[in-house]
Structure 1
């Protein structure tokens, strides 16, 4: 927006309204909403005209002479000797404009104007207002601005507005001159800021007769001038203006536009956020939810609110004062506020703000004190649960993120499933959404719920595996596929019933080709076609978990028929079952994952039907090379045990132990698919590793 140009005009007679919207304010118990009079910095340390030394009152006759001198200075033309007339001063300024057609004026042109103004002030001259008005009119011409600053005229009027009990008309024209002199003129802005006179202008925003000019003056000083922005933000301009907007003291579209821009500017300064009262965010939300708040005003307020809520101090305050429900009301308001859908920039801005609010709510709900204020069964949790099946994607994602953060302990996760049946809404989303954001958020929440072991069977009962299996086919959204495979791994961990569900045939018709395919077959198919290493690793870890659960039970004395049947299905229907485990071994980022892979292969090799799967894995040259490298142990490595060994050495030793077991199991079963040369080499390496270990 261009700098404001101040023309002559009278007061608009603005007065603060007596009533305010207190919907949020009345509910924010104990939060501080200080009156603006107590927030605006005092001016006791500013130099004012009343503190200047006086030389006594100048007689009226001398005042007339001073005005004639002032006229000569301003006009630089021959004039008559009549007593000063205001119109003559205006005419003189116009003559000076004509004389300086190139628009360049130096401070010497103004001569002793500042001194004349000082004496007229001290004499309480009746010409003071008229002189200020004439100079303010002149300041509309950009060529006068630098001379006003260099000659001391600007400084005089800055001192004047810092002086108590000044006539409102004189203040009005003084503000006009200051505002015009600072428009696009950093040299004059520096004069204002270096002496901290922005505080005096801010205080005048409280005057209902001057607010309509004081706010644009601040705008002109701050536009594209960082020092001024920092200063007014530090002095709590954001809170002051928000309080006045909320109280109805700022009216008119033009003035409100300036005001909202200044609020947003102050929110962009770290100092403004640090020094603002907690009640600042209450005011933002209260105004944002008013029915007469426009789209542009709403987006400004939400932008500022998101910036404030990045600070942990305001995040904690929003919990302590129970403001989170109002934040979600602001988010919900974004779906009812009037916006021109044909303006793509507005639609994009609204979506960005929704995303920011979601991120903010995610940060707040992750704080330890959130659950203390908003426990399971609280109205906020109930509202968020209802959002899980809302049509608006943003609200669904918000509910998943916030409630997912609440689900931080097994006890809470159990309550969410046992009492709220919250998992059914999430699984419904998996079955009925192809939108990446909703799916990813729902899966993230389900991951948290799956960590509690007692929840896994209930998730399986709610058909989570068939729902997740659809997502394994979404090759265009690998991040969603990864989340889906992670949930699968957690759900089947140490849970035979869910493993059985994973091994269920895709068709109950014996004549259908799908009868010999299982949900696990779909997961293995994903592993073979994806290039995403984390997905391969997660699938491999799922296989490891199945082997650990079933093969550990098989070794127990009380092994049941169900386990044997599941193991037969595992190896008979999935000849490539060990290949995802191979991906765990060849990856280099996580040594502990590699160790988990060696352990799983050792378990598989201990089963007659699992042995061919291990051989199928070892056919891969890279994996076989890893086997040789890990078994080819040196004397020094073998001696590295106990406290003297590093964690890396101990891990390599553990890997070798598992490999020795794997090779022993393979050689004892003598699988035909393993080439004779590799058998001999493996036997040689195993014997050497065993001898060194003993």
Structure 2
């Protein structure tokens, strides 16, 4: 051994008493920090720079001193004011170097104490975190996770990555770039750490808990969200959910469960890749089992019971999001076991609102094609359980979910008669009175719109109610007119008015002397040719920005204006030719031109009493527009008015 080499050994030995002294009072460490770093440099020289010069006993001695000195630095780093000088001392480079060498040597406690030091250096210290990156700290921490030498080192590796990446995304992006998600997935998989170290389950559970917290940091970055759409990671997470909620789980398992659910909820709602993995890799049933069967640990705290409820609500969202994926729609729909399970959930008592809501939302998502809607109604008989839940549930979230799927399955022509026969029109229309829940109102209006389109029986039920003899209960039509009148929401008013259009179009497509369930077409038409119906139709023509809605309103008004049953007094004509419409100065020329278009169409189609009525009523209303000096009209409106007058000649 050379004299220089012996000096390294002597220098380390001289530090032994100092290290023992500082171990009991690390607050004085700053005074001796250069000596400690110099001692680590000597250890580095013995172990790396001139490795072959020393015998095994001397090398073992050097490793032992590395462990003691680094442990001292790790303890000192718990003190806020010491982290800055520790980061500037050169300790980062030395610690990472020792870990890289020990990857092949595997000297006891080296990795554990080095990781402790790195983790504590990084506590709320961004400059040290950047040094952690620059010196290769991410690499050595991930390598320790991959090797899984012992449980303490696994825990320390996870804790180091967690501390370094907390509120510092440079570290998190670095972990993602170095395939850290797949490495962490090995830790999450219950068949790994949790099963391997069952005899030390508390530490094993902590390792996994830290790993899940690291992943939460990673998905806070765009890179992490992109890369987590990975079969291995998602599979490990779902299996961990199953483990953490197993029968016999304890309170501490819930901490892992909360993290897993947070990750799955965050990534599945935004990633089609994740949604596909859940279905394609047979993970979906595990989520369903958790929602249906899992329970909090026995005799647990109220906090944990509440947390379980929140976890189930989050998993419900994950399930529903998976059914929203276009790629998953056919595979899920073709799974008869799954569909029957959803139908079973619908039939459960109302104390399982979560299952009923999940079932309805999922089925609504799967019913996005006519083919699926028709199969659900005709083969799976989904209408009956939906009607039963709508009839019995008072939970507004469940009602919203049920209304949503009913709206979807009411669209195909083949389904309209069946859905209408179940009493859905009468059961759903009272929900129009709940002004605080606009999505439910729009859903009910959607059901009425779909069911009334091209279906006379459903149209009659909307006009007269499910039981025409019941004169005390407001009819669906009355409830619809009420919400159209009082609502300030344009979608509610316009979609509600489209139901009126459907009713008019259907009734006026039937023979005027026909009867439907003992009710004459004449009576039904009279129920519609009223100012309460006409006014919202006119407003849609006037207020809508969309030509298709304006055109629908004009068609309905034209049919009403031609109604033979009105004889000499026609409510629609009387309203349309009054000062409320067309001539009023509050409407811009473009809107008044739309009114002229209607009057032109009406005059072309009119004959007999209607023609005489129009000739009498229209000219006195629109001619004064030519001579209004306060508000001159455009040339275009003049032309439109001329067309109307010529058609009345």
Report what 1:265 is aligned to.
Answer: 217
| Aligned partners of 1:219 and 1:262 also within 8 Å | yes
1:133 aligned residue: 67
Task: Check 1:307–1:478 CA distance in 2 against 1; reply closer, same or farther (3 A cut).
Answer: closer
| Residue 470 (structure 1) shift | 1.9
Matches within 5 A, 1:461-476: 461-476=421-436
Which among 158, 177, 180 is matched to residue 234 of structure 1? 177
- Counterpart CA distance in 2 for 1:144 and 1:572 is 85
Q: Secondary structure at the match of 1:503?
A: helix
Question: What is the aligned counterpart of 1:449 among 409, 412, 417?
Answer: 409
Partner in structure 1 of residue 631 of structure 2: none
The equivalent of 1:402 in structure 2 is: 362
What 5-or-longer segments of structure 1 have no aligned partner?
A: 1-55, 72-85, 634-650
Q: Relative to 1, partners in 2 of residues 1:572 and 1:399: Cα closer, same or farther, differing over 3 Å? A: closer
Correspondence for 1:89 among 16, 19, 27:
19
| 1:215–1:675 Cα change, 3 Å | closer
121, 133, 142: which one pairs with 1:193?
133
Change in Cα spacing, 1:361 to 1:679, as seen in structure 2 (3 Å) is: same
Match runs of 1:324-403 below 5 Å? 324-332=284-292, 342-343=302-303, 347=306, 353-376=311-334, 378-390=336-348, 391=350, 392-403=352-363
1:47 corresponding residue in structure 2? none
Contact 1:181–1:188 under 8 Å retained in 2: yes
Please state whether the residue corresponding to 1:494 is helix, strand or coil: coil
- Cα distance in 1 between the residues matched to 2:9 and 2:167: 42
Determine if the alignment matches structure 1 residue 596 to structure 2 residue 536. Answer: no
* Separation in 1, partners of 2:218, 2:591: 65
Paired positions, count: 595
Q: Is the 8 A contact 1:397 1:438 kept in 2?
A: yes
Q: What is the TM-score normalised by the length of structure 1?
A: 0.75
Listed as ranges, the matches of 1:178-577 within 5 Å are: 178-205=118-145, 206-208=148-150, 210-245=153-188, 246-249=190-193, 251-252=201-202, 254-276=206-228, 277-290=230-243, 291=246, 292=249, 294-309=253-268, 310-332=270-292, 342-343=302-303, 347=306, 353-376=311-334, 378-390=336-348, 391=350, 392-504=352-464, 514=472, 518-554=475-511, 560-562=514-516, 565-572=520-527, 575=530, 576-577=532-533
Structure 1 residues 275 and 654 mapped into 2: Cα distance closer, same or farther (>3 Å)? same
TM-superposed CA distance for 1:685, in Å, is: 8.4
Change (3 A) 1:87 1:248: farther
Scaled by the length of structure 2, the TM-score of the pair is 0.80
Deviates further, 140-149 or 298-307: 140-149
Choose between structure 1 and 2: higher helix proportion: 2
Over aligned residue pairs, what C-alpha RMSD do you find? 3.9
* Unaligned 5+ runs, structure 2: 195-200, 627-637
Task: After superposition, give the CA deviation of every residue in 1:304-350 in whole Å (9 maximum; x if it has no partner).
Answer: 1123323222222233323333333343356656796844x973x65
Tell me the distance in 2 between the aligned counterparts of 1:65 and 1:505.
101
Task: Give 3-state SS (helix, strand or coil) of 1:621's partner.
Answer: coil
Confirm or deny that 1:688 pairs with 2:631.
no
Distance 1:116 1:196 in 2: 21
Partners of 1:178 and 1:608 in 2: CA distance: 90
* Structure 1 residues 573 and 200, CA gap change in structure 2 (3 angstroms): closer
Q: Structure 1 residues 186 and 612, CA, compared in 2 at 3 Å: closer, same or farther?
A: closer
The 1-side partners of 2:38 and 2:616 are apart by: 107
Q: Which moved more, 1:286-295 or 1:488-497?
A: 286-295
Cα deviation for residue 393 of structure 1 reads 2.7
Is contact 1:331–1:357 with CA below 8 Å preserved after alignment?
yes
